[in-house]
Amino acid sequence: ADTNKANNRGTTPLLIAAESGHQEVATLLISNGADVNKATNDGATPLYVAVVEGHQEIAALILSNGADTNKANNRGTTPLLIAAESGHQEVATLLISNGADVNKATNDGATPLYVAVVEGHQEIAALILSNGADTNKAN
């Protein structure tokens, strides 16, 4: 079976497993050749959807199998920005420790620091600042 076969929206089996929190299924798919960086038509990757849902273990699995930490969707939104916006501190820490760019902005100019501040996630803002966020980068 083709583990990378997508539907008409570009959704793959691995993306569904990552979004649903099915770690054993994700592991099986990856071990059978699923592309951890294959994105949907709107640019969402398995890592991106795992972060949206706060699935830290699946995010770690995908990262350990070569996921691009900074791959953004079509709006320029990165997994770190989503973690910062959603308040997923452990996931944000995981992403940063795997090379996430703390200053990478969306197409509209929003940075992970900006969204952490807007959403009131003080610990994530502090984490991002301690990892080199540019406090003068305008939104």
Domain 76-139 classification at class level: mainly alpha
Res. 31: pLDDT tops 80: yes
20-59 exposure pattern, b = at least 16 Cβ within 10 A, e = fewer: eebbebbeebbeeebbbebbbeeebbbbbbbbbbbbbebb
pLDDT in tens, 42-57: 999 999 999 999 999 9
What DSSP letter does each residue of 44-108 carry, written as one string? --HHHHHHHTT-HHHHHHHHHTT--TT---TT---HHHHHHHHT-HHHHHHHHHTT--TT---TT
Query: In this predicted structure, what is the pLDDT of residue 138?
Result: 67
> Which tens digits make up the pLDDT trace of 57-106?
999 999 999 999 999 999 999 999 999 999 999 999 999 999 999 999 99
In this prediction, residue 91 carries a pLDDT of 98
User: What is the pLDDT, as a whole number, of residue 136?
Assistant: 86
Quick one: average pLDDT of 102-125? 97
pLDDT score recorded for residue 57: 97
Q: Is the dihedral of CA 96, 98, 102, 104 positive or negative?
A: negative
Mean pLDDT across the chain, nearest whole number? 97
Asked whether residue 36 carries a pLDDT value surpassing 70, the answer given is yes
Architecture per CATH, domain 1-68, reads as Alpha Horseshoe (1.25)
Nearest alpha-carbon partner for 47 in 63, 34, 64: 63
pLDDT band at 23 (very low <50, low <70, confident <90, very high): very high
Every domain of the chain with CATH number 1.25.40.20 lies at: 1-68, 76-139
Given a cut of 80, is residue 39 above it in pLDDT? yes
Q: What's residue 52's pLDDT?
A: 96
Q: What's the angle, vertex CA 130, arms to CA 53 and CA 18, rounded to 5?
A: 15
For residue 139, the 8-state DSSP code is -
